[in-house]
Amino acid sequence: MEHVISGVAKFQKEVFPNKKAAFQKLANGQNPEVLFITCADSRIDPNLVTQTEPGDLFICRNAGNVVPPHSNQTGGMTASIEFAVAALGVSHIVVCGHSDCGAMKGAINTEALSALPHVKEWLGHCRVATEVVKERCGCSELNAQEHLQLVTEENVVQQMQHLRTHPAVAAKIATGHVKLHGWFYNIETAAVTCYDEESGKFAPMSETYAEEMLATSE
């Protein structure tokens, strides 16, 4: 904890003075372009990976980058998504999974979560991903690392599907004001792959992808 406290002092003395004007502007409101949904894993830093500044991303984090399907029961993710889309007017939503995800390991082996009942219930939102991979590939034919990556990628796809059930998101997608993106981040290599709906596969981030993303922003 000592390095965290000293970090605050360093921020106030060394970082803040050089960005004082930007923070003064942010003090009166925010206008993020992207809702970034990712895992609560301590190894994931959305601003570091995307090289963005405070105010650029509206970030939602939880175990497994889960988006519960819309229901009449209000939850933190539901409210945050609605606020980002309907109130802040974000134009892009990124769901970003990552390598070596503990939540996905739990989703694959739910029997190991008997002492974590709330985690087990939460990861029920990821069951479709595990079942899809099982049906497509047959788990016995995969090694543990391959299995984990496929489930993590499929989970990103399924959470994108869940996003489409949220009224605010569905409305903006229908009018072309919001675009969904599925990413997979490899912690060890820094590689980021993106989901291509046409091929149904994840591919390295390309110039074409970047151009399409920028075109949607205009």
Does the pLDDT of residue 216 top 70, yes or no? no
Q: Is 98 annotated as a binding residue?
A: yes
Q: How confident is the model at residue 185 (pLDDT cuts 50, 70, 90)?
A: very high
Residue-level pLDDT at 187 = 98
Is residue 21 a part of any domain in this protein?
Answer: no
Does residue 14 lie in a domain region?
Answer: no
Q: What are the tens digits of pLDDT across the range 28-66? A: 999 999 999 999 999 999 999 999 999 999 999 999 999
Domain-located, residue 163: yes
Residue 170 counted as domain residue: yes
| Count: domains in the chain | 1
**What's the CATH code of the domain at 174?**
3.40.1050.10
Q: Is residue 24 part of a domain?
A: no
Q: Is 41 annotated as a binding residue?
A: yes
Residue 118 in marked binding region:
no
Range of the domain at 72: 34-213
Tokens standing for 86?
């309907």
Domain membership flag for residue 140: yes
Rounded to two decimals, the pTM is: 0.93
Span of 40-54, 96-110, 111-125, 196-210 with lowest mean pLDDT? 196-210
| Contact in structure between 181 and 93 (CB atoms under 8 Å) | yes
**Residue whose tokens read 């007017």:** 89
Look at residue 28 and tell me if it is in a domain: no
Q: Quick check: 32 and 56 in contact, CB under 8 A?
A: yes
- Residue 13: inside a domain, yes or no? no
> Which position has the token pair 């009018």?
175
Burial class of residue 18 in the structure, from the number of CB atoms within 10 Å of its CB (0-12 exposed, 13-18 middle, 19+ buried): exposed
Is 101 annotated in a binding site? The answer is yes
